[in-house]
Amino acid sequence: MLWCRWTVLLVLCICPLARLTSSPCPPGCCCLRPGFLVLCESLGLRSLPRSVPLTTSVLSVARNQLCNVDHLLWPFSGLQELSLSQNLLARFPRGLPPSLESLLLQENRITYITSGALRQLGNLTRLDLEDNRIRAIQPGALRGLNKLQVLRLKGNKLTNLPVNLPPSLTYLDLSENCISALDLPSLSSLVNLQVLKINSNCLRSVPESAFDSLPRLRSVDLTDNLWACECDILYLYRWLLSGRLKMATDLVCTEPVHLAQRLLLNLSVMAICPRVLTPNDLYSALERKLAVKPTAQSSYGDLGDLLQKISRQTTVGLVSEVQDFPKTRLLHYSLETLTYEECLSLNKTQSVSPAHLKTTTSLPEEDQKCRENITARYAQSNTTSAEGTRSLLSTNRDGLLSTLNPQPLSQQDSAVIIALLTALCVLVALLMAAVLVVLKKVLLRQQRVAPLEVGSGR
């Protein structure tokens, strides 16, 4: 009888422990594998369920009314995936278990990320903070996340690119924020980045060489920004034309006013940056690189030496020669898109007409007047060789180097020469006909006189 009592007592003590180790599913939750995956979503919860097994690896309490979960999840030492999305959290939760690999916090009310908020989460590979109210991320807040690969910050109120981003990132979504500039040091550290989304922000331009330090980058989304289609955007323009990445190319200009609502890639380089190829800039750059010192007594022989030096360079080489003056780019493909109408419109807005980009063969009258105006404008230039260099450099539209050699006669000059030669031939023919007529008359006259002389001698 005593043995039976001890047996009943032992059963009563073991049953609660057995109940705990059997990992029951909390009321209203879904547990496909009790003790491993627990989903307690859309239950109107204001606090975490108390009966969630401590051995849970995947836990979701999304779409509830949780306001604070600080330190409540620390005992879940094996928790790997946690979803707290679509709740009422006003700050980043504290005391999360360091075993976490995926943390979803989208659609909460988080406004600030402190430097120590993620200090213990070194195993994170995915962090989702979409659609919160984040205005700032303290420097160093993401520094210790050496395994983080996916970071989503879409739909917040960030005005700058977060600093000290982990180099392990492969996917970065910063769309729908208020970012107005890309921080080069932050970007240059992302050597493993493959996808970058920064659409729907306030970017006006992209700094020079912004993407050059990202060797694995394969997709960039830059649409719906406040693009100012001016000289500062030429780097991005060249990147879009290169076609090396999968990029959205339908970028729409918002400034200046005369280019608003136009696609960036539908514009020419001269329309974006009218001063990109002014004669003064070209000549000064070539003069510095070739060490030419023109004087008033410079001859065309000296100019020929200069042109011979220039002709040895390829078009790409010439591009690199003139890249040292600020905000001025000479792109080997830039002149192919310039039309005559654009030349005329630019002539009205520039002090020096860009009509020098058209060829001299078969020029319309308006273009000839344009060139005459340029020649008259520079008639008082300091040196003869400088004027010759400018006029020769201004005769190419398709390639600068091919037209630096002496130009052949134009069609108009050839027509004049042919007309003169024809008139000369006609005059010679008439003169020869006249000479023949005179000779014929002389011969006839002699034939008439000769018989008379013979008769008188008898």
> Which pLDDT score is estimated for 64?
96
* Stretch 16-24: mean pLDDT: 47
Beta bridge partners of 137: 113
Question: Confidence class of residue 260 from pLDDT cuts 50, 70 and 90?
Answer: very high
pLDDT over threshold 70, residue 367: no
pLDDT over threshold 90, residue 415: no
d(CA 95, CA 383): 77
Sort 331 into a burial class: Cβ within 10 Å, 0-12 / 13-18 / 19+. middle
* Stretch 78-91: mean pLDDT: 96
pLDDT over threshold 90, residue 402: no
Give me the chain's average pLDDT, please: 74
Percent of the chain with pLDDT over 90: 47
pLDDT over threshold 60, residue 352: no
Which amino acid does the sequence have at 87?
N
Q: How would you classify residue 220: left for phi > 0, otherwise alpha for psi between -120 and 50, otherwise beta?
A: beta
The listed range with the strongest mean pLDDT (117-121, 372-376, 398-402) is: 117-121
The listed range with the strongest mean pLDDT (36-40, 102-106, 205-209, 292-296) is: 102-106
> Which pLDDT score is estimated for 235?
92
pLDDT over threshold 60, residue 99: yes
Which CA distances in Å does 60 have to 262, 290, 405?
46, 69, 75
Joined tokens for residue 147 = 């395994």
> Which pLDDT score is estimated for 409?
54
* Stretch 252-278: mean pLDDT: 88
pLDDT over threshold 90, residue 315: no
Beta bridge partners of 228: 255
In DSSP notation, 254-303 reads EESGGGTT-BGGGS-HHHH-GGGG-HHHHHHHHHHHHT----TT--HHHH
Beta bridge partners of 126: 102, 150
H helical segments located in 108-208: 184-188
pLDDT over threshold 60, residue 40: yes
pLDDT over threshold 50, residue 97: yes
d(CA 150, CA 193): 10
> Which pLDDT score is estimated for 411?
62
> Which pLDDT score is estimated for 288?
53
Q: Please, are residues 222 and 196 in contact by the beta-carbon 8 Å criterion?
A: no
In terms of pLDDT, which residue wins out, 366 or 278? 278
pTM attached to this predicted model: 0.59
The listed range with the strongest mean pLDDT (220-229, 348-357, 371-380, 400-409) is: 220-229
Question: Confidence class of residue 24 from pLDDT cuts 50, 70 and 90?
Answer: confident
* Stretch 434-453: mean pLDDT: 79
* Stretch 401-409: mean pLDDT: 46
Q: Please, are residues 99 and 122 in contact by the beta-carbon 8 Å criterion?
A: no
pLDDT over threshold 50, residue 457: no
Helix (H) or strand (E) holding 59: strand 58-60
In terms of pLDDT, which residue wins out, 250 or 145? 145
Pairing of strands 58-60, 37-39: parallel
Cis peptide leading into residue 256 (ω within 30°): yes
Torsions phi, psi for 152 (to 5 deg): -115, 120
Which domains are delineated in the chain? 20-148 (3.80.10.10), 276-393 (no CATH)
pLDDT (tens digit, 9 = 90+) per residue, 158-210? 999 999 999 999 999 999 999 999 988 889 899 999 999 999 999 999 999 89
> Which pLDDT score is estimated for 290?
53
In terms of pLDDT, which residue wins out, 304 or 131? 131
Question: Confidence class of residue 284 from pLDDT cuts 50, 70 and 90?
Answer: low
pLDDT over threshold 70, residue 384: no
Question: Confidence class of residue 58 from pLDDT cuts 50, 70 and 90?
Answer: very high
Helix/strand/coil for 49? coil
Give the closest residue to 144 by CA, choosing from 162, 170, 117: 117
Q: Please, are residues 64 and 44 in contact by the beta-carbon 8 Å criterion?
A: yes
> Which pLDDT score is estimated for 400?
39
In terms of pLDDT, which residue wins out, 252 or 449? 252
Joined tokens for residue 343 = 């030349």
* Stretch 311-321: mean pLDDT: 40
In terms of pLDDT, which residue wins out, 23 or 321? 23
